[in-house]
Amino acid sequence: MAVMGAFAYEDDFLAAAEKLKSSGFDKISLLSPLPLEEAQEVLGLGKSPVRYFSLGGAIIGAISGFAMAFGTALVFILPTGGRAIMALPPFFVITYEMTILMGVLFTLLGFHFISGLPAWHDKPYLSSASIDRFVVVVEDAAAEQVARAEAILRDAGAEEIRHVEEDQ
């Protein structure tokens, strides 16, 4: 069972989230129509691991880009006007582009992996959260916790409270 509380004001919403956290509700989601740093702080979200994906992708791209250019020159020997077969300046350009390409693709992969998206199956959600409402969702609440969560949300100023059966 999930309990959702919709708030009209950010500060009420953040206060409710903090109260729930301090009351031992660990599995909460904070839905908002715009990014709120304070909400991320309440959940203790620090530096995102997406940066490791970016770095890893960039390194893989650099190695593969250089290897592709170097390997090509090695396999297809193409002497042109006495110029170097293993010409580092042009290889650097290919390496540079591949570094960025793979960095971007791995960052995208990291985003999906960490955020858990795509998530097309039904999850507790209020469509007003994409307009002007701030929604606290207490997920996987046991039957005895529901009333307590609801009371906290109501005390914090929730305009609307809903109970939703969750998919397993």
**Which spans of this chain sit near another protein (rule: CB under 8 A)?**
8-12, 29-36, 39-40, 42-43, 45, 47-48, 50-51, 54, 58, 68-69, 72-73, 75-76, 78, 80, 83, 87, 90-91, 93-94, 96-98, 100-101, 103-105, 107-108, 110-112, 114-121, 123, 125, 127, 129-132, 134, 157
Three-class DSSP category at 116: coil
Distance of closest approach, residue 76 Cβ to another protein, in angstroms: 6
By C-beta, is 80 or 168 nearer to another protein? 80
Q: Is 85 exposed, middle or buried (0-12, 13-18, 19+ CB in 10 A)?
A: exposed
By C-beta, is 68 or 146 nearer to another protein? 68
Sequence letter at residue 71: G
3 to 11, 74, 133: CA distances (angstroms): 19, 63, 15
Rounded to an integer, what distance in angstroms lies between the CA atom of residue 86 and that of residue 110?
A: 35
By C-beta, is 23 or 71 nearer to another protein? 71
Distance of closest approach, residue 162 Cβ to another protein, in angstroms: 14
**Largest Cα–Cα distance in the chain?**
82
Distance of closest approach, residue 82 Cβ to another protein, in angstroms: 13
The closest alpha carbon to 99, from 89, 109, 88, 107, belongs to 107
Distance of closest approach, residue 24 Cβ to another protein, in angstroms: 19
By C-beta, is 47 or 144 nearer to another protein? 47
62 to 23, 37, 55, 92: CA distances (angstroms): 48, 34, 11, 9
74 to 68, 85, 98: CA distances (angstroms): 10, 8, 19
By C-beta, is 25 or 134 nearer to another protein? 134
Distance of closest approach, residue 144 Cβ to another protein, in angstroms: 25
